[in-house]
Structure 1
């Protein structure tokens, strides 16, 4: 599928990987793709986001304020609490024994050793939906605009609520794409 991506869309994917690595994530999520779009400032999608007040700094602040609750392969905090496991207490004890941030440093060390960060389920879904959006529009390649449209479908992870909170919707983005020059309005 990546052979159909435009150079800017490929750059967004590379930037998403960089952001995932910098944020010590164990997978590339839709939020990292959103950060990648925000960093690719010379694209239609970035212009549309900027016109609606969506910035890299704002997205990063929101992500830092609301850490992920959907870690792949791990039960959620409430499920663990129901069987008597208190994650906050576990973290406290690990940090008492091994120092502050011990759990984060082990995840980051593993990635540095292996180097590859896989795509999470939500990012894969965004990219699949980007392809579908390009096909729906009759476009021959997948651009950053299609990646953004893919993020705006339900079930696409952490990027959707961040965009929805700023009034960016699938219908609005489609309408802006259909109206040349609308991204900057």
Structure 2
């Protein structure tokens, strides 16, 4: 209840919300807050964990459906941008409190959860193409890191372009990379050797 009240206070008062405002939204006194949370940092970490779980809950089911179709890559990106764009003040709150011990760890854990799921999906696809699945994990972390970084830019700059446009830009970039892998898999060893002879 108190964590939900703190989330509501962030939405109502913005990322620089204070404990008095949280107490007012919760309908309790500040001493009651401190009875459940040792200090403000502990409450903020609880809020951070709650928000991170909400983001992961939005994205992981979509990632689980990722295949080689462009639309599903787009859906994964859109799920993340939707999650952070729906409540930008909560995202700004996490960034504002990122210096708290443990907050960066929470964000990293959320990213790791998504990357692990994405690595599984990408690995399955690579194996289906008869390719080494070794690159799946670094690629997944790279993709998550890129989308996370661009999403951060998007929120920090008050969403200067539409979510749909940003999703399309990122999808185009990532999809061409994945398509390149598939295209190289379609080259037979004979074809590759023939090209090498021509270049010689």
Q: So what's the TM-score if we normalise by structure 1?
A: 0.30
- Which of these two proteins has the greater Rg computed from alpha carbons? 2
Compare relative contact order (CA 8 Å, sep 6+) and give the higher one, 1 or 2: 1
